[in-house]
Amino acid sequence: MSDIILRVENVSKYYKLGILGSSSLKKDLQSWWRTNISKKPIPIPNEKKESKDHIWALKEINFEINEGDCLGIVGKNGSGKSTLLKTVSRIVPPTTGSIKGRGKITSLLEVGTGFHPELSGRENLYLNGQILGMSKKEITSKLDEIIDFSGVERFLDTPVKRYSSGMYVRLAFSVAAHLNTDILIVDEVLAVGDSEFQKKCIGKMQDVTQKSGKTILFVSHNLLALGNLCNKAICLSKGNLVDFGDSKSVISNYLNKEKVEILEQNFQLTDTYVGNEFIAVHSISLKPQYNDFNIIDTSTPLLINFSFLNKMLGSDNLSVHVLLYYYGGDCVFETGSIPTVYANGKINGTCLIPGNFLNDGHYYITISFIRNSSKVLYEFTEALVFDVADYREDKSSFSKWNGAVRPHFPVRLEETLM
């Protein structure tokens, strides 16, 4: 079909492990000589099986996407997602198979690649834009738009070595988001940055596909964002393509198979804490109540406990919101504390989800820290992930109920005599 913009046919990628540094000096020198001097190809095994000295990162991948599609790529760490993006981006060639694409392909695999720490934000805009294929004239024509989108105008003439990680991401993504490209490849760029800017990035990518007709390949562990943004998705497992189709169906199948579960997380309040300059998350947990077997049933009340370090200065109000999402769907509910002025220090919080409320299914919880009822200071996405199951002994006459919730609102029937 003429509207097919990218076709991946029988693509496999083979890596020889330990070419240098893993064996004797003699073998290392032989490998180096073969690769760099004699230019002889490394022997490739016929069977696509892993061994101690080689790995097939991709195995006979086949799919095609049309112009204007947004393709999400899901899978566990090590499944081959980043390798696939690198082969499509032509950063590394496939070992076997072919990749045929129309138009200009631009990849954003590592945000800020090409940024120089000693240069200012403005200078890095020009440097990074030219590395990504923009002319100086094109960058200048879009400069105001890029700066406005990034939100770092105040620090534009400051060396980027003084930027926070969030500011760095804002500037780098803003450049890439305004590229004149036909296919944009994005790998986990939304893992850093505040929730407000993440939503802004999602909105920009939606504009790119829906209004401009551009094509996007998108990898993210935020499956809700991926499901809402992408119309198609593929799932990779150990280098194999195991599912391809509608994004919500692919994500649902992936979750049902993987059964990801996070019921508790604890963090040290050190330099590697989860949070930012305002909030440092210390712990969060989900405890089934009135249940000796630690089972989460549709009738089980769920107690959420969390603690965090409040580092916000001044007299602004702080509130914490708990958001429950149905995986592959929308937000089930959002509830929050009363906005209050707190002193700096550790704060504990709880939230009780009553029993006979949630339907059986897969859910995750996000904790959002909000200043003055409007400004999101920090959002801890997918802080808890859990399954709710229906453990009734007799399920013969029942199936999964419709909806994300199934509250116990009794429907009473009464016979009348005729």
Domain for residue 156, yes or no? yes
Same domain membership, residue 123 and residue 247: yes
Q: Are 194 and 376 in contact (CB under 8 A)?
A: yes
Domain for residue 417, yes or no? no
Domain boundary pick from 258, 293, 325: 258
Same domain membership, residue 294 and residue 206: no
Domain for residue 246, yes or no? yes
pLDDT at 334: 92
CA distances from 223 to 33, 83, 228 (A): 45, 19, 8
DSSP tag of 269: S
Mean pLDDT over each residue of the chain, to the nearest integer? 81
Report the sign of the C-alpha dihedral through residues 291, 293, 299, 300, in that order.
Answer: positive
Domain for residue 32, yes or no? no
- Tell whether the model's pLDDT for residue 267 goes beyond 50: yes
Number of separate helices (H) and strands (E) present in the chain: 8, 18
Nearest to 389 by CA among 360, 354, 353, 356: 360
Q: Are 286 and 264 in contact (CB under 8 A)?
A: yes
* 3-state secondary structure labels for all residues of 277-318: CCEEEEEEEEEECCCCCCCCECCCCEEEEEEEEECCCCCCCE
Q: Which residue range is the domain that position 295 belongs to?
A: 264-388
Domain for residue 403, yes or no? no
Domain for residue 285, yes or no? yes
Domain boundary pick from 258, 292, 318: 258
Instruction: Determine the Cα–Cα distance for residues 216 and 66; give it in Å rounded to an integer.
Output: 10
Same domain membership, residue 232 and residue 301: no
pLDDT at 88: 92
Domain boundary pick from 228, 258, 288: 258
Domain for residue 360, yes or no? yes
Instruction: Determine the Cα–Cα distance for residues 167 and 147; give it in Å rounded to an integer.
Output: 12
- Tell whether the model's pLDDT for residue 268 goes beyond 50: yes
DSSP string spanning 72-134?
Answer: EEE--TTSSHHHHHHHHTTSS--SEEEEEE-S-EEEESSTTTT--TTSBHHHHHHHHHHHTT-
Rounded to 10 degrees, what is the CA torsion of 130, 134, 139, 141? 160
Q: What is the Rg, in whole angstroms, of the alpha carbon atoms belonging to the chain?
A: 25
Same domain membership, residue 286 and residue 166: no
- Give the total residue count for the chain: 418
Q: pLDDT tens, 291-320?
A: 655 678 888 899 999 999 998 887 889 999
CATH at 309: 2.70.50.60
Highest mean predicted confidence (pLDDT) among 4-8, 103-107, 223-227: 4-8
Q: pLDDT tens, 349-362?
A: 999 999 989 988 88
Instruction: Determine the Cα–Cα distance for residues 185 and 334; give it in Å rounded to an integer.
Output: 33
Same domain membership, residue 272 and residue 238: no
Q: pLDDT tens, 169-197?
A: 788 888 877 877 888 888 766 555 566 67
More confident call, 151 vs 395: 151
Same domain membership, residue 213 and residue 89: yes
Count: domains in the chain: 2
% of the chain with per-residue pLDDT over 90? 27
Domain for residue 65, yes or no? yes
Q: pLDDT tens, 80-95?
A: 998 999 999 888 889 8
Residue type, 25: L
Determine the 3-state secondary structure of 163 from DSSP: coil
CA distances from 83 to 58, 86, 410 (A): 7, 5, 53
Which uninterrupted H or E stretch holds 203?
Answer: helix 195-210
Nearest to 205 by CA among 222, 184, 231: 184
Q: pLDDT tens, 349-407?
A: 999 999 989 988 888 899 999 999 888 888 888 889 898 887 655 444 455 677 778 88
Instruction: Find the largest Cα–Cα distance for the chain.
Output: 99
Q: Are 275 and 269 in contact (CB under 8 A)?
A: no
pLDDT at 309: 92
Confidence at 22, pLDDT banded by 50, 70, 90: very low
Q: Which two tokens stand for residue 196?
A: 């407000």
**Distance from CA of residue 63 to its chain's centroid?**
22
% of the chain with per-residue pLDDT over 70? 81
More confident call, 222 vs 231: 231
CATH at 99: 3.40.50.300
pLDDT at 87: 92
pLDDT at 21: 46
Q: Whole-model pTM?
A: 0.61
Same domain membership, residue 233 and residue 110: yes
Same domain membership, residue 354 and residue 219: no
Same domain membership, residue 275 and residue 156: no
Q: Are 125 and 175 in contact (CB under 8 A)?
A: yes
Same domain membership, residue 299 and residue 166: no
Same domain membership, residue 112 and residue 231: yes
Same domain membership, residue 230 and residue 348: no
